[in-house]
Every structure is written in C-alpha cells, then in structure tokens.
Structure 1
Amino acid sequence: MVTPRRTQQERRAQAEAALLNAAAELVVEHGVRSLTLARVGEQAGYSRGIVTHHFGSKQALIERLARATQAGFVPGLADLPPGLDRLLRLVDGYIGASGSAGTMNRAFLLLWAEAATASELAPIFRERDEAFRSDLRTDVAAGIADGDVRTDIDPDDVAIAVLGQLRGIGLQHLLDPRTVDTARLRHTVTDYWRRALRVS
C-alpha cells in the first residue's frame, strides 16, 4: 500500500506543532528563561534554522505558544450562545480541565505567571487576558439582556474576578495538585457564580 505524500502545507503544520510542543515541554521542565530557538529545535528533533524559519524570533515563538496553549481549553463553548449558561459551563470546564491539564496548558499558566515580571511576556498576556475578559463580559451582558443575570452586576468586575479565580486555581493545582480537588471544586465554584449572578 502506497502512503500518499504529504503536501508542503501539511509538513509545515506538522513541524510547527512539533516545535510548539517542544517549546511547551521546555517551559514546563526548565522555565521560560531556558527557552532558546536552538533548544526548541533540538527538543523537537529539528535544527535551529527550522525554528527561525517558522517563527523568526523567540518573541514570536512565545506569542504563538501563548495563543496555541489557550485555544480550545474548554471545548464546546463555541456552539453556545453568549449568556449565563455559557459562562457557567466555562467556569466548570476550565476548573475540570485544570485537573488534567497537559503540557501545553501547564506551559500557558507558567508563562502567564512569569509575565508579571518579564517585560517581553507582559504585552502578550495582557492581550490574551483582555480577550478572555471580553468573552466573559459578553456572557454577563447577554445574561443581563436575557433576564438571567441581575441588573446590578457589573460585567467588567465579574470578568476580572472570574479570570483571576480560574487562573489562580490553575496555578494552585500546578503548584500542589494534592491540595486542589478540581473534581469537587468545579461544582463549588460554578454554584457560587450561579447564585451570585442569577436573578432570584
């Protein structure tokens, strides 16, 4: 049986995925400061030249890694209309996924925490956080419009609080998984936000 040859686009996509996985592994194992284009290429089984060809610089690699690691963390949300139900599913799914986060998701949390003191990371993660908050604000505003969320709730405040809580839980689990029971916590936190936001 003859295996069909992969197109150039397929080969490029496969190499990029391997390089991003290698970068995530290095961040998790050794921290972001250990990340160099040469080490990423070596970890992935490629040359540094391939890494430079795909990303151009360490900064561009980290930006692409930040986007790749955050995408699709809670599957199925894109099919839901904005509103309270989608926000609660996000909270539940995010905490549940934190309990079994893979290398890419752990790398994202480590990079996010590092961004507080690393000037080259801060703009990337400010942008990623604003995108996350924007989605949360949209859900709260839609919930208010639908009559499901209390009208005295400020969407901006909720977005900041939810993002901080979810990322904080993820970091705590990363630091000491034995003390953070995500299976139980996901229900507790989801129920908290349901009671805090829902019209009585």
Structure 2
Amino acid sequence: MTTARRTQQERRDLAENALLTAAAELVAEQGVRSLTLARVGERAGYSRGLVTHHFGSKQGLVEHLARSAQSGFVPGLGDLPPGLDRLLRLIDGYIAALGSMNLRNKVFLMLWAESATLPELVPIFHERAEVFLADLREDLTAGIADGTVHPGVAPEETAIAVFGQLRGIGLQRLLDPGLVDTERLRGPVTAHWHRALTRHSS
C-alpha cells in the first residue's frame, strides 16, 4: 500500500511539473493573456480537466507558476541564519542567477512586469513581494542585533531599496540581456551594499 501511494504521488508531481512547464512555455511565447487551461493541457499532453484538478483556475495556475519560479531562485540560503552574510549572499546569488535565467525565472519576471497592466496579477505579486521583503527585513534586523549592520540602518526602507534594485536589474536583463553583464555587476553591487550596511559606513 505504501509503495502504491508513493507511486501515485510521484505521478501527481510529474504531471504538475509538466503542466507548470507548459504554462511557462506559453507565457514566454505569447504572454499571460493568451494562457488558457485548455492550451496548457494540450501542450503538456494532458486534458484540461487535469489542469483544473491541479490548479482550479487560470488564476490558481498563475499563482503556482509564480511561487514555483521564485522559490529556490538563490539556492542554499535556507541553511544560513538571518543576518548580513545571508543578505549579501542573496544579493550576489540573485544577480548571478539572472545571468543563467531559466524558463520559470524568466516567466516570473515577465508576469511581474505584466502585473502593471493586469489587475488580476496584482495580488499574486503583492504576496510575492511581501515574502521577499520580509526575508530582507529579517536579515537587516538580525544584522543590527548582532552588530554587523550599522544601527542607523532602517530595515523597512533599506529592504525596499534592495528589493527594487534587484527586481530592476532583473527586468533590465529581461528586456536587454546584452546590456546587463551579471558577472561584472554582481561584485560591485554586493560590495556597495556591504559598505552601505556595515558599522563603518558614514
């Protein structure tokens, strides 16, 4: 019985991953406006009914796609305690990841950009932004507490500044990849934030 249940879960996970990949491909090719459950099912080799079973609606599908793309964008951070080191690794790793942007990361940025003109996407990306900002605030607050971040740093405003810069670099990378050399950029950006946040900053 245990083996049968595990096999069923594996089949479910395989189908869900295939559907999310199909959805990402369609968004990358034609934008979110052209996305339908029927087209996703057809692209993945499944029925529309299975797409509905997994995600409920187009909105639910886009939410899952956004979450799956953002989670794990910078691997290895989950093993680090909150603080300055984790924050700097996030900044460096985020820019590095933009250099080898995979399909779902690219689609996440495309959906984020489209949320400016599609109200139905706003709640999804408001939630995703809050998760990102909460992590940044946690690192800044922990850094202030342990003395590695200057006590004059304002966690809320600084988190928004870091968030805005990283997302802005990502959007520019999406729009004009040749302009953004991530390997050259990651060092100076990370060093800038290290200087700005440490106790030695003026």
| In structure 2, distance between residues paired with 1:17 and 1:78 | 22
| In structure 1, distance between residues paired with 2:62 and 2:118 | 12
Unpaired runs of at least 5, structure 1? none
Q: Which shows bigger deviation, 5-14 or 15-24? A: 5-14
Q: Which shows bigger deviation, 92-101 or 113-122? A: 113-122
- SS of corresponding position for 2:148: coil
| In structure 2, distance between residues paired with 1:177 and 1:116 | 21
1:102 aligns with 2:88: no
Letter in 2 for 1:189: V
- Whichever structure has more helix as a proportion of its residues is 2
1:14-163 pair list within 5 angstroms = 14-163=14-163
Cα offsets for 1:134-173 (capped at 9, x unmatched): 0000000000001011111100111111111111111111
Structure 1: 4+ residue segments shifted above 2 A: none
| In structure 2, distance between residues paired with 1:166 and 1:64 | 22
Letter in 2 for 1:152: G
CA RMSD of the aligned region, Å?
A: 1.2
Aligned residues: 197
- 1:116 Cα deviation from its structure 2 partner: 1.7
Scaled by the length of structure 1, the TM-score of the pair is 0.96
Identity over aligned pairs, percent: 69
1:7 aligns with 2:7: yes
| In structure 2, distance between residues paired with 1:132 and 1:174 | 20
- 1:196 Cα deviation from its structure 2 partner: 0.4
| In structure 1, distance between residues paired with 2:52 and 2:63 | 14
Scaled by the length of structure 2, the TM-score of the pair is 0.95
- 1:108 Cα deviation from its structure 2 partner: 0.4
